[in-house]
Structure 1
Amino acid sequence: MGASAVLLGGAFMLATAAALAQTTAAKPAEVSASTFSTDLMQLYREARLEDPQILASFAQAQAGQEHQREAMGALLPQLSFNAGTNRIHQENDLIEQSYDNENYSLVLRQFLYNKAAWENYQKFKSLAKQSESEALESQAEATVELARRYFTALASEDELELVRAERRTTQKSLDRVNALYDKQLALITDQLDLKARVDLLAAQEVDARNQASISREALAEIVGRPVKEKLNRIRDDMQLRVSAQSLETWVREGMALNPALKANESGVEAAEAALRGGKGGHYPTLSLNLSAQETNEGYNNSLTPRTDNYVAGVSVQVPLYSGGSTSARVRGLYQDQLVAEQELEAIRRRVVKEITSAYLTANSNGEKIGANRLALASAQLSRVAAEKALSYGMVNAVDVLATVRNEFRARRDLLKTQYEFLSNVFTLNRWAGKPPAESVESVNGWLSPGSSGQAMGVESEY
């Protein structure tokens, strides 16, 4: 009986242990944000909801619509209701009395002709359009800034990886020289040169790590949260080129679609309407007045039977002289119109300049990328050959160090040119009036979560 109990107890303990083991195995491993990746489109969607600049632009456009509605209200009927009561005590040689007087009135006024009010509405109508265009311009500018910070973060992390990789490569060369030095096959100067380079790269790594953290914080400022995920990088299999459109086509589209240009065009329209409204101060106004009144108050606050009065009339108001203020205001508004026209001309010229500069620079970057890839391949072969030659004593460590530097300089040049190309594409799209979402989507297609360190030929340690 005792043996059976022991066997049953042992079986129970084994079953319990197996169940605990299964539970432990089924428990998912903890993950952090750094195990995931994010791309430019995801950050753009978050920025649309969190970036203060974008949120302010939405509010600005809405405010413009409300100001337009406010100006239109001056053209619609104005209806007011008035009510009053008085306690009156009256004394004379015949009587002494106290009584209450009451009066109620309903007044409707409608302008039949008021040039100043009409032009004021036209001004705010143009200002509402200007606010919408300025909001679009702010959103396009915010998108370019997001892309710039995204690529800056990538470049900072690339620099950290390159410094680490160069330090490892140089350390391997130092290890070889140390081994050769022990055999009296290398000079002490070679050993010291490589050691100095390794120490310098270690110091540069500290600075590069700091810059990578700062660049991440710059992204967090826009999206409103810490960005811990890995950032998608440029795909290796993509041919980076600007679209086949000619420069003239890009400029023509920019002149037709650029939101900053449209905002200034609306600003000129608003200034013209304001000038016409100022001149309207010299024009007469014509209005229709309807009123209904009920009162028991007569002449000299006397008490009378309750009376209802209904009045319909047309009134004309003709301005004659206001001390010259109306004419001065018109002259000032004329100068405001000239300012708006010159600002429009300035933005027209800037659109042409920015599109031309971004287009030519992006095309130059595209051609330079191919040359940089060839230069990197040659630098890699040169470094490998120098390392082999060092092992045979055909070159010294300084020669190897020079080839390593050349290789990593070529890597940096390639990455820098790629990021400059993408930044210029964003700038080109912005000034050409392309929707920000369309620009992000097109560039985001060149990014891939699987090409972090491979593009540089080094293993990512960030």
Structure 2
Amino acid sequence: MDRSAVLLAGAFMLAAGGVLAQTTAATASGVSASGLSTDLMQLYREARLEDPKVLASFAQAKAGHEHEREAMGALLPQVSLNAGVNQIRQENDIIQDSYDAETYSLVLRQYLYNKAAWENYKKFKSLAKQTESEALDAQAEATVELARRYFTALAAEDELELVKAERRTTQESLDRVTALYEKQLALVTDQLDLKARVDLLAAQELEASNQATISRESLAEIVGRPVKERLSRVRDDVHMQVSAQSLETWVREGIAQNPALKASESGVEAAEAALRSGKGGHYPTVSLNLSAQQTNEGYNNALAPRTDSYVAGVGVQVPIYSGGSTSARVRGLYQDQVVAEEQREEIRRRVVKEITSAYLTANSNGEKIEASRLALSSAQLSRVAAEKGLTYGMVNAVDVLAAVRNEFRARRDLLKTQYEFLSNVFTLNRWAGRAPVESVESVNGWLSPSRSVQDIMRP
């Protein structure tokens, strides 16, 4: 376990070095942060070093191993050195005397049999495993949260660009209708409808801008710095689908590897060991005792020649009655074991539910993405036809507004479905117990740093 902690710390230092080198290079070249780009993998590396929840979970795991070592100490030899110097004055009918008495002793005690201490060590050993699994689960959960906030930021910027584009498109239609109205070829109601829509989109643009800023702040909360770089966006040339594994395979994998479930299993083992330790309070303890003593103090604090004594013995302590506290403690520990078992079952059921939900939803999203692309293509053609029809007086402004709204609704649906798919991929991998870095690497391959927010408006 110590070796894995060292490797983990080394990985953190390497990641920190990469981030520092990149930041230094950017500063040296005079490039502003907004001119750079970042992707999900880069933010993941930074978050591993800065996310308080992740850092706290790994600190807790280290503390768990130290508590395990503390419990082991009770099984090892206990050595103590004692020294005492006393000023003694004796008076009787014959003499009055005062002198210094010195006593030095070295005592060693080793348990030969102590069931309670042994089972207590087993409990803390299981608790250390539990905290380690909880740290891995916290890292997996934090990765899902990072991805969710990343795609939320992309979606917010998409919405801002879509509102701007819809406003420009509607403004162009308004300009055409105004020109036709001046020639008495259009109705004033058409002009007013389009102007009202332009004004509404202006207000929505302000709200979308605020949401884009807020979403960036959500990312900054995790990575510990302002995120001003351009975010890598989803490539338009990838086919998104879940792996060919069946749902049953995903569920089996999750039950075998999910860190939260492993943590609950370790919790059950710890509760069982605690119960056995409680029952150990009814068992005798056997200890080996070795001591060496040097003193010049005799019977009744009388001054005596210096005496060296060495004692070796075996002690047996048999508990008989403690007021019923030991039995009550055992009954309480049994209920704690029941609680741990029920919590394990709760988590097992949740693993099955989350994997099933993420798997089915991701598959549905994959099919919906293709359908949304076709719907967007059709909506674009419909909007172009409506605008031409307005010029020739074949349709009115309401028809054009409906066509424009349909096109941008189709764009929103496509982008939203893509982000939902990617979020469900992270959720699926998280509950299946796969390493977070694998999820980030696979999804990061679907992102392109060269694709800008304006590219989402391209047909």
State the TM-score, normalized to the length of structure 1: 0.92
**Map of 2:178 onto structure 1:** 178
* CA offset digits 1:342-383 (Å, max 9, x no partner): 111111111000000000000000000000000000000000
Q: Which residue of 1 aligns with 2:75?
A: 75
Q: How does 1:145-164 map to 2 (within 5 A)?
A: 145-164=145-164
Q: Is the 8 A contact 1:268 1:341 kept in 2?
A: yes
How far did residue 393 of structure 1 move? 1.1
Q: For the residues of structure 2 that align with 1:312 and 1:105, how far apart are their CA atoms?
A: 13
Q: Which residue of 1 aligns with 2:446?
A: 446
Task: Check the 8 A contact 1:114/1:284 in 2, yes or no.
Answer: yes
Question: How many residue pairs are counted as aligned between the two chains?
Answer: 432
Aligned twin of 1:25 = none
Counting only pairs closer than 5 Å after superposition, residues 295-310 of structure 1 correspond to structure 2 as 295-310=295-310
Q: Any unmatched runs of 5+ in structure 1?
A: 1-27
AA in 1 matched with 2:281: G
After superposition, the C-alpha distances for 1:68-104 in whole angstroms (9 at most, x for unaligned) are 0000000000000000011111111211111100000
CA distance in 1, matches of 2:175, 2:442: 47
Structure-1 residue corresponding to 2:390:
390
> Percent same amino acid at aligned positions?
82
Partner of 2:421: 421
Contact 1:271/1:333 (<8 A) preserved: yes
Measured in 2, the distance between the counterparts of 1:337 and 1:376 equals 56
Amino acid at match of 1:105: S
Structure 1 Cα separation of the partners of residues 443 and 454 of structure 2? 19
User: Structure 1 residue 30: deviation in Å?
Assistant: 5.3
Q: 1:392, CA displacement in angstroms?
A: 1.1
Is this contact kept in 2: 1:162–1:458, CA < 8 A? no
- Equivalent residues of 2:284, 2:319 under 8 A apart: yes
8 Å CA contact 2:149–2:215 kept in 1: the answer is: yes
CA contact (8 A) 1:155 1:415 kept: yes
Match of 2:317 in 1: 317
- Structure 2 matches for 1:252-401, cutoff 5 A? 252-401=252-401
| Partner amino acid, structure 2, of 1:219 | L
90-99 or 298-307, larger mean C-alpha shift? 90-99
Report if aligned partners of 1:161, 1:458 keep a CA contact under 8 Å in 2: no
Superposition pairs for residues 175-214 of structure 1, below 5 Å?
175-214=175-214
**For 2:36 and 2:99, how far apart are their aligned partners in 1?**
85
Confirm or deny that 1:39 pairs with 2:14. Answer: no
Q: Find the counterpart in structure 2 of residue 124 from structure 1.
A: 124
Aligned 8 A contact 1:296 1:307 in 2: yes
Deviation at 1:454, TM superposition (A): 5.6
Question: Match for residue 20 of structure 2?
Answer: none
Q: Which residue of 1 aligns with 2:9?
A: none
Q: Counterparts of 1:111 and 1:30 in 2: how far apart (Å)? A: 68
Amino acid at match of 1:311: V
For each residue in 1:102-142, what CA deviation from the matched residue of structure 2 results, as whole angstroms up to 9, or x when unmatched? 00000000000000000000000000000000000000000
TM superposition score normalised by structure 2 = 0.93
Corresponding residue number in structure 2 for 1:95: 95
Letter of the 1:116 counterpart: A
SS at 2:288 equivalent:
strand
Q: Which amino acid aligns with 1:113?
A: Y
Distance in 2 between the 1:29 and 1:383 partners? 46
Deviation at 1:203, TM superposition (A): 0.2
The residue that corresponds to 1:226 in the other structure is 226
Gaps of 5+ in 2: 1-27
Q: State the partner residue of 2:248.
A: 248
Superposed displacement of residue 253, structure 1: 0.4
Asked if the contact 1:236–1:451 (Cα under 8 Å) also holds between the matched residues in 2, the reply is no
Q: CA deviation at 1:453?
A: 3.4
Paired residue for 1:57?
57
Relative to structure 1, the CA distance from residue 69 to residue 126 in structure 2 (aligned partners, 3 Å threshold; closer, same or farther) is: same
The letter of the residue matching 1:64 is G
- Say which SS state the counterpart of residue 316 (structure 1) adopts: strand
1:447, CA displacement in angstroms?
0.4
- Alpha-carbon distance between aligned partners in 2 of 1:197 and 1:30, rounded to the nearest angstrom: 43
1:458 to partner: Cα distance: 5.0
Contact 2:162 2:457 in 1 (8 A): no
Instruction: Give the Cα separation in 2 of the matches to 1:218 and 1:417.
Output: 21
Contact 1:271 1:337 in 2 (8 A): yes
Distance 2:454 2:410 in 1: 15
Q: How far did 1:34 drift?
A: 1.1
Structure 1 residues 247 and 105, CA, compared in 2 at 3 Å: closer, same or farther?
A: same
Q: How far does residue 398 in structure 1 lie from its aligned partner after superposition?
A: 1.1
Q: Pick which of 294-303 and 449-458 moved more.
A: 449-458
Conserved in 1, the CA contact under 8 Å of 2:161 and 2:454?
no
Q: Is the 8 A contact 1:236 1:455 kept in 2?
A: no
Cα distance in 2, alignment partners of residues 421 and 404 from structure 1:
26
Counterpart secondary structure, 2:75:
coil
User: Using the alignment, how far apart are the partners of 1:246 and 1:192 within structure 2?
Assistant: 55
Given that residues 165 and 458 in structure 1 are in contact (C-alpha distance below 8 angstroms), is that contact kept between their aligned partners in structure 2?
no
Match for residue 144 of structure 2? Answer: 144
Distance 1:305 1:30, change over 3 A: closer
Q: Which amino acid aligns with 2:48?
A: R
Distance 1:451 1:240 in 2: 17
Aligned to 1:434: 434
Offset from partner CA, 1:201-250 (integer Å, 9 cap, x none) = 00000000000000000000000000000100100000000011110110
Counterpart of 2:10 in structure 1 is none
Amino acid at match of 1:240: M
State the superposition RMSD in angstroms. 1.1
Separation in 1, partners of 2:454, 2:194:
26
* Structure 2 residue identity aligned to 1:179: A
